[in-house]
Amino acid sequence: MSEISGVRVRELAEQFGTPLYVYDESAMRKQLQTFTDSFQSNVLDTRVIYASKAFNCKAMIELVREYGCGLDVVSGGELYTALKTDFNPAHIYFHGNNKTPTEIRMALDGGVGTFVIDNEMEAAELLKQIKNTETDVFLRINPGIEAHTHQYIVTAHVDSKFGFSLLEKDVITETARKLQASGTIHVRGIHAHIGSQIFDKQAYVELVRKMFAFAKELNDLNVPVSEINLGGGFGAYYTAEDHPVPVQEVCETILRTCEEENEKNGGIIRRILIEPGRSIVAEAGSTLYTVGYLKKTPNKHYVFVDGGMSDNIRPALYQAKYDAYVADRENEPVFTDYTVAGKCCESGDILIESIPLPEVHTGDILVVKTTGAYGYSMASHYNKLPFPAVVFVKDGKAREVIERESYEHMTALEKQEERS
């Protein structure tokens, strides 16, 4: 019988309906613990920050809080959600390349600890709004390294929408000086985030070296940065094609390289930060669907499910691959390779292009694995499908952390002319 953390999959589907996002809470706790345990150095202060855009909701933020991690937010909505919990705003890092004046105001009023400044105009806006509030700042750097899954490239890629290019050092030092001159803004460090689903440790080694070299330059130019934030991007396991580096190993590599580089560069750096998002929540999450109709075409056996690109855009957006199983039938022999398609009006609404499964019947529960990151957070109302519910499961108990949206709720903000 198929279970998630001691609760039968069928029971979850019956109790909460489908499509349903189910998170194994113990698995997320284990990841948070592994990151906080592994990212430790005898020489450098360290901090693990959860990049909440991977999955942001109150229950998740409360979980992160328990492990003493920081929290990344990139919008007023993510920030608002965090401010509605007991999370200490001093441990929030506000990212993004276009924080609006209203969002900056909201963050200052909310006591957000750190702004990660992306560009000159944003720095000017912060300067305009800051009064007597003390705030910390990191400058986002585009280090000219881009990493995705199996490869990373070191380029002089100067056209990224994110961050200050390393080629414009004058702009960076000038911006840092202006911010420092305010007296209340403290430029603590530099930040970079080089990509996602990174399987190559060497990309981080390269990044650490570049960041230390640049931090040294800044210090020599009288911009005394003492913290380096290396961003996220740690890989998760989706299918047998993926070989993510174990968390302990990647943390070890990063910190040993940082220690070496710090020694080489005169010990200018005091604290190293990382920002895992996906790797904390991806594998803990699954999506449950009820199988509707089946259809055979000359080359395909389609399984239609009651969700699709509206609850998981990643296959359509990035050709992301997923593994799945049919609940309670995991031990049955394979019948054929199926194509799992959603119910949205879009030919690209295919969740899994080809997967061997036992004979699938209407009413079966199909469980798509590793949907914990960028699933719920990228969900849309396309075709006016309401957002599914989210359930956390732990030690045989399920708790609903986000209710299923109703049609009433979905249309509540729509105005209607009175008709006589």
Ligand X SMILES: *Cc1c(COP(=O)(O)O)cnc(C)c1O
Contact 127, 106 (CB under 8 A): no
Report the alpha-carbon distance of residue 354 to residue 297 in Å, rounded. Answer: 14
- Of the ranges 75-83, 217-225, 228-236, 243-251, which one interacts with ligand X (CB under 6 A)? 228-236
Closest by CA to 210, choosing from 232, 188, 187, 194, is 194
Query: Which of 163, 276, 315, 372 touches ligand X by CB under 6 A?
Result: 276
Shortest Cβ 193–ligand X spacing (Å): 4
Nearer to ligand X, 251 or 366 (CB): 251
The contact mask relative to ligand X for 67-106 (x = CB under 6 A, - = no) is: -----x----------------------x-----------
Nearer to ligand X, 36 or 265 (CB): 36
Nearer to ligand X, 206 or 306 (CB): 206
Shortest Cβ 360–ligand X spacing (Å): 32
Report the alpha-carbon distance of residue 75 to residue 98 in Å, rounded. Answer: 9
- Tell me the torsion sign for CA atoms 388, 100, 159, 71: negative
Query: What is the token pair recorded at 300?
Result: 């395909």
Shortest Cβ 392–ligand X spacing (Å): 19
Contacts with 37 (C-beta within 8 Å, 6 or more apart), sequence order:
none
Shortest Cβ 216–ligand X spacing (Å): 23
Closest by CA to 305, choosing from 388, 370, 377, 402, is 388
Contact status: 342 vs ligand X (CB under 6 A): no
At 50, is the secondary structure helix, strand, or coil?
A: strand
Shortest Cβ 230–ligand X spacing (Å): 9
Shortest Cβ 293–ligand X spacing (Å): 35
At 131, is the secondary structure helix, strand, or coil?
A: coil
The residue from 57, 251, 258, 345 that is catalytic is: 345
Nearer to ligand X, 41 or 160 (CB): 160
Query: Which of 275, 306, 311, 364 touches ligand X by CB under 6 A?
Result: 275
Q: DSSP labels for 64-122?
A: HHHTT-EEEE-SHHHHHHHHTTT--GGGEEE--S---HHHHHHHHHHT-SEEEE-SHHH
Residues 15-54 that bind ligand X (CB under 6 A): 51, 53-54
Contact 198, 162 (CB under 8 A): no
Report the alpha-carbon distance of residue 82 to residue 88 in Å, rounded. Answer: 9
Nearer to ligand X, 99 or 193 (CB): 193
Shortest Cβ 283–ligand X spacing (Å): 12
Contact status: 233 vs ligand X (CB under 6 A): yes
Peptide bond into 19 cis (omega under 30): yes
Contact status: 196 vs ligand X (CB under 6 A): yes
Contact status: 232 vs ligand X (CB under 6 A): yes
Contact status: 117 vs ligand X (CB under 6 A): no
Radius of gyration of the chain (CA): 23
Contacts with 293 (C-beta within 8 Å, 6 or more apart), sequence order:
304, 362
- Of the ranges 15-23, 102-110, 272-280, 302-310, which one interacts with ligand X (CB under 6 A)? 272-280
Nearer to ligand X, 208 or 291 (CB): 208
Contact 376, 59 (CB under 8 A): no
Q: Is 188 exposed, middle or buried (0-12, 13-18, 19+ CB in 10 A)?
A: buried
> Which residues lie across from 61 on neighbouring strands?
none
Query: Which of 70, 143, 231, 308 touches ligand X by CB under 6 A?
Result: 231
Nearer to ligand X, 198 or 326 (CB): 198
Element (H, E) at 11: helix 9-16
Q: How many residues bind ligand X (CB under 6 A)?
A: 16
Q: Rounded to an integer, what is the distance from CA 194 to the centroid of its chain?
A: 13
345 among known catalytic residues = yes
Shortest Cβ 35–ligand X spacing (Å): 11
Nearer to ligand X, 36 or 182 (CB): 36
> Which residues form the catalytic set?
345
Give residues in contact with ligand X (CB under 6 A): 51, 53-54, 72, 95, 193, 196, 231-234, 275-279
